[in-house]
Amino acid sequence: MKKIILSLFIVLMFAGCALNLVTGRKQLSLVNESELRLMAVSQYKTFLSENEVLSGSNYDAAMVSRIGSRIANAISKYYTGLGKQSVIEGYSWEFKTVEDKAVNAWCMPGGKVVVYTGLLPITQNETALAIVMGHEIAHAIAKHGNERMSQAMVQQMGGMALEVALSQKPAETQNLFLLSYGIGSQVGAMLPWSRQQEIEADQYGLIFAALAGYNPQEAIPFWQRMSAAGGANQPEFLSTHPSDATRMRKLKEFMPEAMKHYKP
């Protein structure tokens, strides 16, 4: 049985790999992105109905929405200019802020972005929040959630198609989706992103913030504050976003490229 699962996994790995247009990396991509976007719309509605969403006139919510629109417009222009419109095809952006002490933020496929108020004491300013939102948006458009969802579909559902899984095991499938996109506020309820996904999200997140007119250099003090907020009472955002010497080194390595895109 183990052998069968292993060979199935290997077959799917090769059959289901796609070249990612953002990162240029081959990724496992068994799930149709448009199906994921559909699922995202319903999960997003459910999430908003179960959480305390700040009104658009709230100072912080207005900031989240301003940053989000600036990044969305900037990357739309950027990828159109590169002839890679398909990267953001089918995106219908929305930016919400929820009252929740969890240190978290996420972006679903299709551009549904949520920031938790627990993140704001650490970001402290608009530029740092743009760094985080750029990072989360980069996870989405680099299809990291799809990659995780695809891995989970192989490991836990034997490579079942999403549509089939949703009709046969709706609760488990929805749970996999939430886990794959880092949605939730319970410690331990989120899958960590892989190191490679984190590095990619940092790399492209810096560029997206810069393209939107935010100084990417704010990423360094922000991740230092994030690291200091850890310790005994480690926020889950940090536990899923390992902050270490490697991250700092990589951020500094990516900075010159990001600065090329920065026009204050």
- Binding residues for Zn ion, rule: CB under 5 A, are 193, 201, 241
In single-letter form, the type of residue at position 34 comes to S
- Of 160, 237, 234, residue with least CA distance to 193: 237
Measured CA angle at 155 (ends 152, 161), to 5 deg: 65
10 Å CB burial of residue 137 (0-12, 13-18, 19+) is buried
Residue nearest to Zn ion (CB): 201
Annotated catalytic residue 172: no
Bridge-based pairing state of the strands 17-19 and 112-116: unpaired
- Of 75 and 165, the one with the shorter C-beta distance to Zn ion is 75
Say if residues 122 and 103 touch (Cβ distance below 8 Å).
yes
DSSP for 203-260, please give it.
HHHHHHHHHTT--GGGHHHHHHHHHHT-GGG--HHHHHS--SHHHHHHHHHHHHHHHH
- Of 91 and 193, the one with the shorter C-beta distance to Zn ion is 193
Q: How many CB atoms lie within 10 A of CB 245?
A: 7
From 50, 89, 99, 136, the catalytic residue? 136
| Measured CA distances, 11 to 4, 15, 16, 17, 154 (Å) | 10, 6, 8, 10, 11
What is the CB-side half-sphere exposure of residue 217 using CA atoms within 13 A? 6
Measured CA angle at 129 (ends 133, 253), to 5 deg: 75
Q: How far is the CB of 242 from Zn ion (least distance, A)?
A: 9
Q: How far is the CB of 214 from Zn ion (least distance, A)?
A: 17
Q: How far is the CB of 167 from Zn ion (least distance, A)?
A: 31
Q: How far is the CB of 221 from Zn ion (least distance, A)?
A: 18
- Residue 166 CA to residue 203 CA, distance in Å, equals 34
Q: How far is the CB of 107 from Zn ion (least distance, A)?
A: 10
- Of 153 and 201, the one with the shorter C-beta distance to Zn ion is 201
- Of 20 and 159, the one with the shorter C-beta distance to Zn ion is 20
- Of 31 and 131, the one with the shorter C-beta distance to Zn ion is 131
- Of 82 and 220, the one with the shorter C-beta distance to Zn ion is 220
Q: How far is the CB of 200 from Zn ion (least distance, A)?
A: 9
Active site (catalytic) residues: 136
